[in-house]
Amino acid sequence: MRTDPSILHVDLDAFFAAVEQRDKPSLRGKPVVVGGIGLRGVVSTASYEARKYGVRSAMSTAEARSRCPHAAYLGARFDVYRETSKAVMAQMRALSPLVEPLSLDEAFVDLSATGLTGLTVDDVHAIAEDLKAAIREASGGLTASVGAGTSKLIAKIASDLDKPDGIVVVPPGTEAAFLAPMQVTVIPGVGPATAQRLSMAGVRTVADLQQLDEEELVRQVGSAHGSSLHRLAIAADDRAVVSDRETKSVSVEDTFETDLLDRSLLSAIGDRMAHRVSERLQKAQLSGRTVTVKTRMHDFTTHTRSSTLAGPTDDARVIARVARRLLEESDISGGIRLLGVGVSSLADWIQDDLFTESEDPPLDLTDLPERPRERVDGYHPGQDVIHTQYGEGWVWGSGRGRVTVRFETAGTPAGPVRTFAVDDPELTKLVRQPPEDEPTDT
């Protein structure tokens, strides 16, 4: 545990709404609500003027409209927010190389990485003052709230105490007493479900939590959560500030204005989502092995189905094909309100390296899994794709020197399922690279 309050938590005030007010002077001083503006929309951010009417993040836009009909309701402009966020984060990085963004509008800054040591409460207060001024300058007038302390937990909670445009530095040594009178829900990770369980054990404040022994806590909320909560309650938090956290998954989802029942429509929507996921993977130079389809029923119950490929892919066609299969296996009776497609089990992957080496590289069939998968029933398990002169082939079973292939044209099965010996010259003849991977000058 460090002894000076050298971790800052910086939180931009009503970020999305503030950007809109910055860009449209007519909105300044007025209630502004940013979020989904459709029938099933939800509020992302409400300006402080709108909060006076009880409008809050995560509230349905319909409810927000009834509470504050005269507010300006705006869809989110993420590109603009991203750009502003970048400028703000740059100011933090100018202060310290160790910055951990949590979202577009929030980050931890570790001042110990600046070489400054023995910082006092006043020192940190002054640094926060300067940072806020730099942020205001770089962002075209946005305000931020800053919390500081000896840990992430303390900094994060402190930044919430004097919003908007405030600074709270918690003196070292006072952390446990600082937390004690607060509700347990101030601890990040304690949401409604955990709060409910704790309340049944008579725990409402952090002071109550500090009294509870770890074993009892683990019984109530599980082992990982319980032991981390036990430590956080007494402000024992040595989590490091980490820049460059790895992306673990990439996904796209959409809630429909009305519940959808039509499988072919859903299939087409899923294809488009697969393409968007693929684009984002490629942009980030990532690829992944697990494809997940998410469905939400009319009653809001949510289901996921996933399938893990033999190797990583960022190919829209592969993602789309697996997603289509998973969707076919999903129950959509009664209609679904949401569909999502995602890819996880990510690996770094430099896309070009696979194909640019040789002129006409054959698919290396010896690289296919040795063991056949058990469920080879016509749809499983979509392990890899080959491309042929007349369509796309889907390798769906292999082993013992044999490969089973179903060919498709534009996603539709074309011709029978065929099985080849790995060294069958006809198979070798059929296997070609897709047109877009061929050198353009030949």
Catalytic residue positions, numbered: 106
Residue 434's alpha-carbon distances to 323, 383, 437, in angstroms, are: 21, 17, 6
Q: Which is nearer to DNA, 210 or 308 (CB)?
A: 308
Work out how close the CB of 206 gets to DNA at its nearest, in angstroms, rounded to a whole number.
13
Quote the least distance from Cβ 7 to DNA, whole Å.
15
- CB nearer to DNA: pick between 14 and 127: 14
| Residue 32 burial class via C-beta count within 10 angstroms: exposed 0-12, middle 13-18, buried 19 and up | buried
Judge whether 11 is annotated as a binding position: yes
Q: Output 381-386 pairs: Cβ under 8 A, ≥24 positions apart.
A: 381/307, 381/309, 382/307, 382/309, 382/318, 382/321, 382/322, 382/325, 383/309, 383/310, 383/311, 384/309, 384/310, 384/311, 385/315, 385/317, 385/318, 385/321, 386/430, 386/431
Q: Identify which of residues 281 and 430 has a Cβ nearer to DNA in the complex.
A: 281
Spatial distance between the Cα atoms of 34 and 16, rounded to a whole number of angstroms: 7
Do residues 362 and 428 touch, judged by C-beta distance below 8 A? yes
Write the CA distances from 20 to 71, 101, 147, 309, integer angstroms: 13, 22, 25, 43
Are 299 and 238 in contact, with CB atoms under 8 Å apart?
A: no
Minimum CB–partner distance for residue 95 and DNA (Å): 20
Q: Could you tell me the smallest distance in angstroms from the CB atom of residue 51 to DNA? A: 15
What Cα–Cα distance (Å) separates residue 334 from each residue in 85, 263, 304, 432?
A: 41, 12, 17, 43
**Inter-residue contact 242 to 284 (CB < 8 Å):** no
- The CA radius of gyration of the chain, in Å to the nearest whole number, is 27
Q: How far is the CB of 331 from DNA (least distance, A)?
A: 9
Q: How far is the CB of 123 from DNA (least distance, A)?
A: 26
For binding to DNA (CB under 7 A), which residues are involved? 35-36, 39-42, 44, 57-58, 60, 62-63, 66, 102-103, 105-106, 156, 185, 188-195, 222-225, 246-255, 280, 289-290, 299-308, 337-338, 340, 342, 344-345, 371, 374
Q: How far is the CB of 341 from DNA (least distance, A)?
A: 9
CB atoms within 10 A of CB 331: 10
| Residue 162 among known ligand-binding residues | no
Q: How far is CA 234 from the centre of its chain?
A: 30
Angstrom CA distances, 308 to 342, 371, 381, stand at 12, 15, 9
3-state class (DSSP) for residue 383 = coil
* Residue closest to 13 by CA, chosen among 131, 121, 136: 136
Is 293:340 a contact under the CB 8 Å cutoff?
A: yes
Backbone phi, then psi, for 291, in 5-degree steps?
A: -105, 130
- Binding-site residue ranges for Mg(2+): 11, 105
